[in-house]
Amino acid sequence: MDGLIYSGKYVESDPSQRHARCTVHPYEWKDAAFDPEREPKALEFIQRAHDFNIYNGLVVPIPGPNGCVGQVFMGGESFRIPMRDRPCLHLMGLYAFERVERLCGRHVCKPRLTTREMEVLTWTAAGKPSWEIGEILHISHRTIDFHHGSIMQKLGTHNKTHAVVIALRQKLIAL
């Protein structure tokens, strides 16, 4: 194990890194599949994590315009988080990553959203589905979906939750 410990290549050995590139949804760390026979470094990594009482947790992939740019892990020895609490942890993970990015000076310029896009995103932040936002704004849900696509492209995200986090953080919208 010493080679892995001192090589600084934990990221390359963690099976959840590969899994995070395939999804934008949070998942349990133990669910990141790997083949222990073909991937001995992954097995070594998992065993090393167990040495520190890390057996499971929630992984929040951080999507960017060109794929996964990172992930936030929350877990430990006895990971028991009800499914109803996971959307809140997803939001917290996205927010925490964005905050760390800003603290490290990797903050990009504020994107410009149209007035309609800000309205759509504000209603999205309030938990309204596309069809209901369409009813409120007197436009079709397909137009709402178009606006969501434009918003996510401008903010460099792959889902509406992440777009809301970035927009709130950058004070593009308010609740």
pLDDT of the chain along its 175 residues, tens only?
444 444 556 778 889 988 888 888 999 998 999 999 999 999 998 998 899 888 899 999 988 767 788 899 998 778 888 899 999 999 899 889 988 888 888 766 678 899 999 999 999 999 999 999 999 999 999 999 999 999 998 988 889 999 999 899 888 999 8
d(CA 17, CA 20): 5
Contact 57, 75 (CB under 8 A): yes
* Residues in the chain, total: 175
Contact 96, 103 (CB under 8 A): no
3-state secondary structure of 75: strand
Task: Give the pLDDT score at 68.
Answer: 81
Would you list the domain boundaries of the chain?
A: 2-103, 115-169
For the domain spanning 115-169, the CATH number is: 1.10.10.10
* CATH superfamily for domain 2-103: Transcription factor LuxR-like, autoinducer-binding domain (3.30.450.80)
Comparing C-alpha atoms, which of 99, 164, 163, 90 is closest to residue 125? 164
Task: Give the pLDDT score at 8.
Answer: 56
Task: Give the pLDDT score at 147.
Answer: 96
Task: Give the pLDDT score at 84.
Answer: 92
Task: Give the pLDDT score at 169.
Answer: 84
Task: Give the pLDDT score at 130.
Answer: 95
Task: Give the pLDDT score at 9.
Answer: 66
Q: How many alpha carbons fall within 13 Å on the CB side of residue 136? A: 15
